[in-house]
Structure formats: structure tokens, C-alpha cells
Structure 1
Amino acid sequence: MASNNLSVLEALDSARTQWYHVKAIVIAGMGFFTDAYDLFCISTVSKLLGRLYFPEHNKNLTEPGKLPTGVNNMVIGVALIGTLSGQLVFGYLGDKLGRKKVYGITLLLMMICAICSGLSFGYTPKAVIRTLCFFRFWLGFGIGGDYPLSATIMSEYANKKTRGAFIAAVFAMQGVGIIFAGLVSMIISYIFLQANQAPSWKENHVLSAQPNADYAWRIVLMLGALPALLTFYWRMKMPETGRYTAIIEGNAKQAASDMGQVLDMEIQAEQEKLAMFKSSNDYPLWSSKFVERHGLHLIGTTTTWFLLDVAFYSQNLTQKDIFPVMGLTHKAPEVNALREMFEISRAMFVVAMFGTFPGYWFTVAFIEKLGRYKIQLMGFMMMSIFMFIIGVKYDYLATHENRWMFATLYGLTFFFANFGPNSTTFVLPAELFPTRMRSTCHAISAASGKAGAMVSAFGIQKYTLGGERGKIKFAMIILAVTNMLGFFCTFLVTETKGRSLEEISGEDGSKDRPEGEMSNRGHRQVLES
């Protein structure tokens, strides 16, 4: 630990893990539960929307149950556009106004827009879809704010020995949200199936005998407001992080008081020392000093997150077209709309439970042992290998006899996405950058990721719509190459485990010393990484 670090920061770094840390993980994590549920539940209902609101479009299709391509892209992608916008806006505000002041706004926006998405109205089908897209944009805007704020708050509360695991645990709630998106959609569609005693698709092309089916997708979307509502009060009760209060607001006394209550210990204020600490770190974003210290890191975090999300969102958004090939769902002409929704949701739940979910928690378990760097390299490499195998051997795997091998390989891509770059690209930007621009830099990195997701939604998802074999084969090979690019871009970032945030970012003055004067501990960290 550098000698000129503040007592309040040293206390946070060395604090024992206690109940307050667990509560912070739950409070921040429930935001990510809501984020994932709201973003991915649309995949379970998009085909139902196609059958309900565009029956004429589906009459002449051999594989019914689709939205028109442009409509599908907007319904799937508009929330991603909102998320990217929200990340940049709330990330900037998190540094300028404070983490806590804008943290509650994001949750409130998510609650309101999730409910309004389910209440989408209009005199025509197109009007309903336009209203849905409007509210899902603002839903995404709120979701976007949760990314930089949750990551920054958790990194600034955690001690240095378990910081990576704590941030990863917050992000792991995304896996729980994906599971519940499938589970809730499955339960709702099953209830409506039983209530309607729905006939087959062939007997009921325009759903005339399923008058309540329109309620199913609305209920699924509206339930996304519930977890946010349950944690809103506790999010508002969290104090501002000690690092923001001390380093950015310049109030060492308040920071010592707040963190002393949280950690149940007495902490010195050190107001005079704080003035010296702030003066050595008073440089703006995009200054030559920032570029020298953090330029390569920012390029590394933005490129890896972009490339990861091209692959990760392509996996998630095209599931509904791949599931029939894997034998997890029936083909659309064989089932009615609610049955198709049930089967898509069930398949999504199974893949998330056995592929997606374990990967997140493997990262939580091993991130402090293996480090962020090794896990990210391993994840990109394994995703690339499995996607390349699926692409090259797609015709062989897509047969009935080999469907379980297909399902296993497909599940492993999800496992190593999450025991890999999907988790570490969230953790690293919360640790690499200085306090005064930590939220902004995380937001820029996350927004780059959502740009990759938009490439997936508007490009790859559009290209593979309908599940044609040749297109999916080619897309999988392209995604394998994308993951290899992510592997090489990982070399632009550095290992952060076991070091304080100030040591990593150079706020403690370590980056201003000659290399020969590096502390022994810092030297060991560089060698280890």
C-alpha cells in the first residue's frame, strides 16, 4: 500500500468482508437481474407478437411466427439503442453529480417503462408496436445507467482482496435474470395454454380462438418492474461511496464518517492530506496525461467489450431460430402461438440454467485466484473454438441423432462467455481508471459493448432470421473470428487483482515515480500478471 494513500481508502481496501458488502451485492445485483430480464424476455415473446399483430405477413410463410424483418429489428434492437445512450449519459452524471444521486433514477425509469411496455396501446398493430418500441427505448435508457453505476459503486465499496469477486457477483445476477426471463415466460404461456385449451397452429392461424393471448406477452414484460420495485428503497438508503465523497467532492470528514458507520470503525478525516492527493490527480478525460496513463487500457476495454457483445447477443437473440434445429422446440407450423412461446421459453430456461448461469459463478469463484486477464483470454479462446466447430460441422450436428451434441457445444459457448469475457469486460473498467472518471470510462466501455450488440441485432440477427442452415453456419464462423480478435485485444489491458484502485490507476502517485522506485509489492503484481 502506498504511504500517501488516505486512511479512508486504506480502511476500505483492508476491511473484512461483512454483511454490508453482501447487502451491496444484492442491491446492485437486483438491478442487473432486472436489466437481463427486461432485455432478454423480448426474445421469448417476439414470435407471439408476429402471429398476433402481423397474421397477414405470416400466412404465406413456411415458417410462421415472425415479425416483418424491419419490425423485428426495431423490437429487438431499440432497447439496445436506449441502453447505449443511457450508459453514456448516466456514466457521465455519475462522475459529475455522484453515484448515489443518479442511481435511483435508473431504477425508477426501469420500473415505469417495464410497466408501460406491457400497456402498449394503439388502434392498429403498427401503432402498438411503435408504442412498445418507444417505451423499450426508455427502458433501455434506464438499464444503461445501471451498468457504470453498479460497477463503480461495488468497486469503490469492496476491499481489494475480494473486489473482483464482488463486482462479478453483481454481474452474475444477469444470469439469474436470463433464467427468470425464460421461467416466467414459460409459466405465463403455460397458464394461458391451459386456460384456452388452445388448438394447433394449423387449425388456428390467426388466433381467433385465443382471445387472451395478447395478455401473455404484456404480463411477461410488466413483471420486469417487480425486482426493481423491491430494491428501490434500499438503493436510496445506500450512502455515497467514500471514494467519491473524499476524492471528487473533497469532503474527507464526511467520507470518514459515512465509511466509519458502514465498516463499524473509526477513520481519520485527513483533510489536509486530501488536498495534496487531489492536486496530483487533477487532470481531465482525454488530456495527454490520461492518454499516457490509461489510453491503451480504454482501447482495450472498449474493443474487447464490443467484440464480446457481437458474439454474446448474437447467441441470445438467435436462440429462437436455433432451438428447432437442436430439437428443443417444434417447428412453427406444428404448434400454435402460445405453445411456441412456451417451448422457446423452456429451451431458453434450460440453456441458461445449464450453460449461462454456471459460467457467471465460476468467474465469481475463480477471479481472485486466476485473475481477470487469464479468465478473459481463456473465455475468448474457448468460445472461438466451440463456435468454429458448430459452424464447420453444422450440417452434421443439426441432425436428429446429434442434437444433444449440438446442444452441449452450444451450451459450452454460453458457459465460456460468462466464465470469460462477458464477466471480465464488466469488471476491468471498474478497476482500471481513476475515481474522477471511473464511471465515465466504464460507460464508454459498456457503450462500445452495446454498439456490438446492435451489430448483432441489426446485422447478424437479421441475416440469420428464419434459421436457414447456410446462414447460421457462416454466422458461427464469423463469430468465431470475432472472438479471436477479442482474444488479441485483451493484451491491451492489465491484471488488477490484489491491488488497490489507487495503485492500479496511479492516483496514489506510483505512476509518477521512476520505475526503479516501484514498491516491492507493485513489482510482484506486475510479474504475476
Structure 2
Amino acid sequence: MSERLFQRLDTAKTQYYHFKAVTVTGMGLFTDAYHIFSITPILRLLGHVYYESNDNQIPPSVECSMLAIALLGTVIGELVFGRLGDIVGRRRLYGLALMFMMAGSFGSGFSMGTSRGCVLASLGFFRFFLGVGIGGDYPLSATIMSEYANKTMRGAFMAAVFSMQGFGILASSVVTMAVCKIFSRIYPSPPSDPTPKEADMAWRLILMLGVVPAAATFYWRMKIPETARYTALVEKNVPQATSDMERVLEMSHRQIAEGHPLQPSLSSYPLFSKQFFLRHGRNLLACSAAWFLLDIVFYSSSLFQSKIYHKYLRDEHTGKAVTAFEVASLQAIVACYSTIPGYIAVLFLIDRVGRLSIQAIGFVLMAIVYFAIGVPYDRYWRSHTNKLFMFLYGLTFFFANCGPNTTTFILPAELFPARFRTTCHGIAGAAGKVGAIIGVVGFLMASQDDDQNGHKKALGGRFTLVTLSGICVVGMAVTNLFTKETKGTSLEENE
């Protein structure tokens, strides 16, 4: 019966529930991106509130800590929730991860203290708490969608879930811009300046508004049934799995029972045993290494766009500090012309071209663009009119999202047995976020290498971009470690 059930899941026509699952799981990624990427403009507001004596600029060490603390929480969340997802089930933890995010969002907005240090320490604590929830959402969302989807459209459905990250980035930028307009003095016309009191209200409101998309889908997350593959293969309760799928798919019990059975999986080896490493060790290494390399590049570029595009912002022309509105507007522009189009393109290609081909091609094209703008970087740095640099740099986000940024999310949820699926996805995702921390810290250190005429900064930028190009080349090579393409295959075949 269970083999016939899986066959029906794999061959089911695309229907309403598939799109509902994309929405419910995707809103978690939407919320994740909102919080991770909203911190960049918020740092501008924090600088105005707490560092007036330092020209409203947050010290690099504090900036680095605020960016990295949520990523560190994400590492913990991916490992813990990933393992628990295979032990107690995907559904039981799904609402809990969302509760962590909502609590972290509210807590961040209510960060209190009698001094600057207390407020920033409180904010750091709640962003770590938020990161744990974000990390927990990754393996659960990916696995739930992979186990619900049919095999012909599984890649597109999972890519659609992950594409919500792009819309989350855009939403965080739009909300920040709107709040800054409402508190009009936060984006003043020279020579007036915003008041610290208004800026303090603004950054708290921006963070707390991030709870809205999470709360909107909490009810549906609690109502979603456990996936049939977990219930049948891990809990060994085939009748319950069949009953759950009758609620999900437009099929009767008789239709589910019909069909040609597949060969059952009789494997019983434990996690991290010799048998596990012989069968899945290479794929786990490939997933983890590819995600690690990708996130070094992706997060260092994404979280420091305002530093890379500094010549298009006001501080380069007037000497004034960049406002939160300007940083958010830049993020919105990049999201609209490169990030979101990349996610849309991969929806149409992932099940036609295949995961591994898209990943390898994406890494190669990213490497080419980084190298092309990195080698002559001194000329681009000194130019105030060359928008070709901004366009080319934006292409790296397009190729990342229509490439390894999406495939590294999809592959770990397809390559491993149901008993280890969220665990392995969590390990690979945690490796990615370790890479993100390295990228964030490394890029920030490189960006501080500056003297009065900017020459060292140009050299640092050239070195950074060429290094990112080299990392992409290594990522392309790592893609060859994968043992198989998962396009059009059943999850049970991949075991």
C-alpha cells in the first residue's frame, strides 16, 4: 500500500493543495528574508540614535556583531530543528519554528535598557533567538514541500517556496521606506537632521512589522497534516498516511490503493553509520560544501550592497551619512531588477534543465561577472557615472538565484532517505550559514581597509571581488561531487 501511495503522490496532477503548500511554506522563507535583510538599513537608524558622537556611524565591530548574531542562531536552528524533524515529525515542529520567529521579532522591537550597551545587547539576544527560528524553518519547509510535491513539478514547487525570499527582501525594503516616510524627519531634506527619538521608534516598528506574515500563516501551519512519507516510512503508519493524503489530494482511498507498487526501501542503518556514509556521505559533503561556498559569496554581497554601490548614494556627493531610506531603496532596486527575476527564471528551468546543470552554470556565470568587474575595479571605484558596474554586479544576484542559491536549498531535501531528510538538510544549511558568517565578517574587514584617498579601499574591493570569483569556480567544481541528478525522480528512488 505505501508504495502505491508514494506513486500516487509522485504522479498526482498539480492542484489547489500544491499551491496552498507553496504559500504556507513559502511565507516562512518570506519572513526569514525580511528579518535577515532588514537589519542593514536599521543599522543606519541605530547609528543615528546611539552614535551621534561618531558621525552617526556604528563601529565596524558592532555592525559585524549585529549581522552575524542572527546567522549564528540560524546555524543552531538548522541543526536542532533539522534533527528533531526526523525524530518527532515535520508538522509538530513547524509551528514552533514560526513561534520562535514571532517572539524574536517582537523581542527585537522591544529591546530595552538604560544604556546603549544594554539596548544593543538585548537586540543581539533577540536576533539570535529569531535566527534559531529562521534556521528551523529551512529544513522543515524544504522537506515538507518536497514530500508533498509530484516528481515532475517538485523542483518548480520548491523553487517557488524559496523564491519567497526575494519578495521578503523587497518587502523589508518597502516597509523601511514607508516607515521612514511616515517618520518624515528620518529622511530629511538638508540641512535638517532626524531626531534620535523618531529614529528609535522607526527601527523598532520595522522589526515588529515582520511578525505580520508569520502570524498570517500560523493557523494554516498548525492545520497542515504530517507528510505521508514521514508517516508511512518513519512512523510506519500507512493507514494514517493514506487518510492524510485523502484530505490533501483529490483522490479517494480506492484510487490511492490502485496502481503498480514500487520496490520498498528496507534500509535500517542508523544515522552517521558506515552504511550511511557509504551511501550518502558524498552527497552530504557535496550539499554542505556547495552551500557553504555559495553563502560566502551571496551574503557578503547582499548585506553590504550600500558599501559596494556607495558612489550612487548621497554620502559620496555631499559627505552626509547614508540614510536608512537610501539603503532600503537600493535594496529594493536590486531586488526588482535582478534578485526576483532570477527566482522567476529558475521556476521555468529547474525541471527542464536539471538541478546540477543549473548549479554549475550559475557558479560559472557568477565567477565570470565577479572577475570581469573585479580586475578593473580601481577604474569603476573612481567613476561617478558608470552605471554598467551596478548592472553587472546586479547580474551576480540573478545568476545566483537562477542557480546555486536555489539548488542548494532544493537538493538536500531530495537526495536523502525520509529518516534523515531534515537532519541532512539542516547540516547542509548550517554549513551554508557558517559560510555566510565568514563572508559577512571577511567583507566587513576588507571594506575597512581604507585611507583618505580611497586607494586601499579600491585594492581591497578588487581583491574581494576576485576572491569571490575564485570561490564560485570552486563551487562549480564541488557540483561534480554529487552522485546523481534528481530531476524527474521519485524521492524513494533517490534512496
TM-score tier, shorter chain, comes to over 0.9
What do residues 358-400 of structure 1 show as CA deviations (whole Å, max 9, x unaligned)? 1011111110110101100111001111111111111222344
Q: Deviations over 1:294-344 (max 9, x none)?
A: 11111100000000000000101211211222x1x111783766x711111
Name the SS of the counterpart of 1:259 in structure 2: helix
Structure-2 change in CA distance of 1:456 and 1:109 (3 Å): same
**1:25 partner amino acid:** V
2:234 is matched with 248
2:418 aligns with one of 427, 435, 438: 435
Task: Give, as a single letter, the amino acid of the residue that structure 1 aligns with 2:96.
Answer: I
Give, in whole Å, the separation in 1 of the partners of 2:113 and 2:317.
29
1:288 aligned onto 2:274 = yes
Structure 1 CA distance for aligned equivalents of residues 196 and 209 of structure 2: 22
Residue 196 of structure 1: how far off its partner (Å): 6.6
Change (3 A) 1:383 1:150: same
**Runs (4+) off by over 6 Å:** none
Structure 2 residue 474 is matched with structure 1 residue 477: no
CA displacement at 1:182 relative to structure 2: 1.3
- Report what 1:390 is aligned to: 373
**Cα-to-partner distance string for 1:55-112 (whole Å, 9 max, x where unaligned):** 23x24xxxxx431122111111100000000000000010000000000000011111
CA contact (8 A) 1:301 1:425 kept: yes
Deviates more, 1:396-405 or 1:246-255: 396-405
Q: Distance in 2 between matches of 1:197 and 1:248?
A: 55
TM-score (norm 2): 0.94
Go from structure 1 to structure 2 and tell me whether the alpha carbon gap of 1:442 and 1:90 turns closer, same or farther (over 3 Å shift).
same
1:334 to 2:324 alignment: no
The 1-side partners of 2:366 and 2:99 are apart by 36
Q: CA RMSD in A?
A: 2.1
Q: State whether structure 2 residue 30 is matched by structure 1 residue 26.
A: no
Within a 5 Å distance, the mapping from 1:108-507 to structure 2 comes to 108-193=99-184, 198=188, 200=190, 204=193, 209=195, 211-267=197-253, 277=264, 280-325=266-311, 327=312, 329-331=313-315, 334=318, 340-400=323-383, 402-465=385-448, 468-493=457-482, 494-505=484-495
Aligned to 2:309, what secondary structure does the other structure show? helix
Match of residue 8 from structure 2: 11
Equivalent pair of 2:49/2:197 in contact (CA under 8 Å): no
The 3 A distance-change label for structure 1 pair 253 and 285 is: same
Q: Which moved more, 1:4-13 or 1:151-160?
A: 4-13
1:79 alignment partner in structure 2: 70
Deviation of the 1:36 alpha carbon: 0.3
Q: Identity of aligned pairs, percent?
A: 46
| Per-residue deviation, residues 246-288 of structure 1 (Å, max 9, x unmatched) | 0000000000111122112234698xx99x946x121111112
Mark the CA change 1:344 to 1:160 in structure 2 (over 3 Å): closer, same or farther. Answer: same
Deviations 1:9-47 (A, max 9, x none): 111001000000000000000000000000000011112
In the alignment, the residues of structure 2 paired with residue 293 and residue 360 of structure 1 have an alpha-carbon distance, to the nearest angstrom, of 32
Inter-partner Cα distance in structure 2 for 1:196 and 1:298: 47
Specify the code of the residue in structure 2 equivalent to 1:503.
E
* Distance in structure 2 (CA, Å) of the matches to 1:253 and 1:354: 48
Query: Which one-letter code corresponds to 1:285 in the other structure?
Result: L
8 Å Cα contact 1:200/1:335 also seen in 2: no
Amino acid aligned to 1:386 = V
- 1:51 deviates by 2.6
Offset of 1:136 from its aligned partner?
0.1
Q: Summarize the Cα distance change of 1:334–1:22 in structure 2 as closer, same or farther, 3 Å threshold.
A: same
- SS of the counterpart of 2:113? coil
What is the distance in 2 between the residues matched to 1:466 and 1:181?
Answer: 30
The one-character-per-residue Cα deviations of 1:427-482 (angstroms, maximum 9, x if unpaired) are 00000000000000000000000000010122222322488222121111111111
Structure 2 distance, partners of 1:466, 1:231, is 44
1:103 aligns with 2:94: yes
Q: 1:79, 1:376 → 2: CA distance?
A: 26
Segments of 5+ residues of structure 2 without an aligned counterpart are 451-456
- In the other structure, the counterpart of 1:43 is 40
Deviation of 1:127 (Å): 0.8
1:23–1:477 distance in 2 versus 1, CA, 3 Å: same
Secondary structure of 2:152 counterpart:
coil
Query: What SS is found at the alignment partner of 1:184?
Result: helix
Alignment size in residue pairs = 484
Q: Distance in 1 between matches of 2:443 and 2:16?
A: 44
Determine the structure 2 residue equivalent to 1:520: none
Q: Aligned pair in 2 of structure 1 residues 362, 355: CA closer, same or farther (>3 Å)?
A: same
Contact 1:183/1:345 (CA < 8 Å) preserved in 2? Answer: yes
Residue 54 (structure 1) shift: 1.9
Shift of 1:223: 0.9
Q: Secondary structure at the match of 1:212?
A: helix
